[in-house]
């Protein structure tokens, strides 16, 4: 599988394969945020559908992402969407109300056509927004996003923490998978009770390992003249006029679709 770091699910590896990775990362970050905010402000089903297809086109057709993998990542938030939609679409009442209802014991679960349509519109908007976010993360390496944040004047200390945390995450995950394998080979997960205690022990062991590694890292950094500043190399990615034009036209279309569908009563 493409998205594995030693048996661990992570989607940042897609970015290394994406054909869009040579585009300037700050430009990608800003256009993604702009598209996201506009999608939320317009709150218009036609704009949402347009964004959904646009991002699909960008990620799959231009970026060269696998269709099935794209869909499976798009559906990551499925459980949240389902539960939140139930919460938004359905109502509970002690009295008889709504257009559709089921009687459960002494109360009614009800809903109406309007509520269902609102919920469907919301789901499409959420999927559109998720696909915009994905378009960014499937084509941009996390360290590039961190660098872009630095250029947008996020405090230096936070940028350094982010850079270090990003590197440490994979070190800890590797230690975790080693510990998990060895616990599994010793029947550490053979029932719920042992699983819980194994999990707790592994988690506390990871903290111990991580603190030890933090010390080793600091020594290593100091040996390389660390004096409070972390400097990372970065690729120069030049802003291309065609890319700006593409994003400008895509966003312009959002306005056009919004204007044309203002009168539609859906």
Interface positions, 2-21, toward another protein (CB under 8 A) = 8-12
Among 2, 66, 200, 256, binds another protein (CB under 8 A): 200
Instruction: Tell whether residue 152 is a contact of another protein (CB under 8 A).
Output: no
Least separation in angstroms between CB 76 and another protein = 4
- For residues 40 and 129, the answer to whether their CB atoms sit within 8 Å is yes
In the bound state with another protein, the residue whose beta carbon lies nearer, of 24 and 110, is 110
Of all helices (H) and strands (E), which one includes residue 41? Answer: helix 25-42
Give the x-and-dash track for 70-109 against another protein (CB under 8 A): ---x--xxxxxxxxx-xxx-xxx----x----xxxx----
End-to-end CA distance of the chain: 42
Q: How far is CA 206 from CA 30, 64, 85, in A?
A: 37, 37, 37
Enter the tokens of residue 52. Answer: 């959904």
Stretch that binds another protein, among 60-68, 204-212, 236-244, 245-253 (CB under 8 A): 204-212
Among 33, 117, 187, 259, binds another protein (CB under 8 A): 33
Least Cα distance to 35 among 200, 194, 257 occurs for 257
In the bound state with another protein, the residue whose beta carbon lies nearer, of 225 and 238, is 225
Stretch that binds another protein, among 62-70, 210-218, 240-248, 249-257 (CB under 8 A): 210-218
Instruction: Tell whether residue 164 is a contact of another protein (CB under 8 A).
Output: yes
Instruction: Tell whether residue 221 is a contact of another protein (CB under 8 A).
Output: yes
| Cβ contacts of 167-175, under 8 Å, gap ≥ 24 | 168/210, 168/213, 168/214, 168/217, 170/5, 171/210, 171/213, 172/206, 172/209, 172/210, 173/5, 173/6, 173/8, 174/5, 174/6, 175/206, 175/209, 175/210
Among 152, 187, 207, 256, binds another protein (CB under 8 A): 207
Among 134, 147, 150, 254, binds another protein (CB under 8 A): 134
Q: Find the binding residues for another protein in span 47-66 (CB under 8 A).
A: none
Number of H helices, E strands in the chain: 10, 3
Instruction: Tell whether residue 189 is a contact of another protein (CB under 8 A).
Output: yes
Instruction: Tell whether residue 67 is a contact of another protein (CB under 8 A).
Output: no
Question: Coil, strand or helix: which one is 224?
Answer: coil
CA 109 to chain centre: 33
Least separation in angstroms between CB 182 and another protein = 16
Stretch that binds another protein, among 32-40, 62-70, 236-244, 246-254 (CB under 8 A): 32-40
Stretch that binds another protein, among 57-65, 190-198, 231-239, 246-254 (CB under 8 A): 190-198
Residue 120 makes CB contacts below 8 A (sequence gap 6+) with: none
Least Cα distance to 235 among 21, 12, 63 occurs for 21
Least separation in angstroms between CB 242 and another protein = 26
Least Cα distance to 8 among 239, 177, 181 occurs for 177
């Amino acid at each position: 599988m493409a998205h594995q770091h030693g048996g661990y699910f992570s989607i940042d590896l897609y970015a290394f394969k994406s054909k869009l990775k040579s585009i300037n990362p700050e430009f990608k970050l800003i256009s993604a945020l702009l598209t996201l905010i506009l999608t939320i402000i317009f709150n218009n089903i036609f704009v949402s559908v347009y964004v959904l297809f646009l991002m699909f086109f960008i990620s799959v057709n231009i970026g060269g992402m696998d269709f099935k993998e794209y869909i499976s990542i798009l559906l990551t938030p499925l459980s949240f969407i389902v539960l939140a939609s139930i919460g938004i679409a359905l109502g509970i009442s002690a009295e008889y109300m709504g257009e559709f209802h089921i009687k459960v014991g002494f109360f009614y679960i009800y809903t109406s056509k309007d509520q269902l349509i609102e919920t469907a519109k919301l789901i499409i908007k959420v999927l559109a927004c998720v696909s915009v976010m994905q378009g960014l993360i499937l084509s941009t390496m996390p360290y590039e996003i961190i660098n872009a944040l630095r250029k947008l004047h996020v405090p230096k200390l936070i940028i350094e923490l982010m850079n270090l945390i990003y590197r440490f995450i994979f070190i800890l995950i590797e230690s975790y998978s080693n510990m998990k394998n060895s616990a599994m080979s010793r029947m550490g997960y053979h029932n719920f009770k042992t699983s819980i205690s194994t999990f707790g022990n592994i988690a506390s062991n990871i903290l111990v390992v991580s603190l030890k590694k933090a010390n080793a890292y600091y020594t290593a950094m100091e040996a390389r003249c660390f004096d409070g500043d972390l400097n990372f190399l970065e690729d120069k990615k030049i802003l291309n006029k065609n890319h700006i034009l593409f994003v400008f036209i895509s966003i312009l279309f959002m306005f056009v679709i919004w204007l044309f569908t203002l009168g539609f009563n859906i």
